[in-house]
Amino acid sequence: MTQLRTGSHVVFSIHLHIVLVTKYRRKVLTGSMLQIMKPVLERVLTANNSILTEFNGEPDHVHLLIDLHPDNNISDLVASLKSASSRVLRQEFKAEIDKVYWGKAKLWHDSKCIVSCGCAPLQIVKDYIQNQSGGRLSESGAIAPSLSLPTV
């Protein structure tokens, strides 16, 4: 079962699978770059009360599985991850990156893939929500009739 995290007035479990792609899908990333990138991503996420659960990549993209704190704006957080990782990689691997990208060309493509992940399949969650009692017990102790919600 998924471990629930808590904060001030909140209990949560939000997992996101994020894929970041290099600009023009250029195969620039190396194993050494991924090793340098991981602590940078962890630092950004820790500053945002989130956790990097898994990380790996290929020469033209990286995968992150994060445990997100609900106070975060996802787009802003991804922008911070891209910015910090690009800055550090360009400092540490300037010669290698300059062979592929010249001038001030971006390392990361503007697009991103963000997929929510959880333990239960979506249909199980839908069924659970649809099978709720529909409100408080009536004064006689019987369950109040449930509202019929439209199927999405």
The number of domains in the chain is 2
Per-residue pLDDT for the chain (152 aa), expressed as one digit of tens each? Answer: 568 999 889 999 999 999 999 999 999 999 999 999 999 999 999 999 999 999 999 999 999 999 999 999 999 999 999 999 999 999 999 999 999 998 878 999 999 999 998 777 778 878 877 887 766 655 555 544 544 444 44
Residue 46 is predicted with a pLDDT of: 98
Is the domain of 124 the same as that of 108?
no
Strand-pairing partners, residue 113, are: 19
Is the domain of 90 the same as that of 18?
yes
Residue 152 is predicted with a pLDDT of: 43
Is the domain of 68 the same as that of 97?
yes
Is the domain of 71 the same as that of 126?
no
- Print the domain residue range for 52: 5-119
Residue 123 is predicted with a pLDDT of: 84
Is the domain of 88 the same as that of 127?
no
Which amino acid, one-letter code, is at 15? H
Is the domain of 90 the same as that of 127?
no
Is the domain of 113 the same as that of 124?
no
Residue 141 is predicted with a pLDDT of: 56
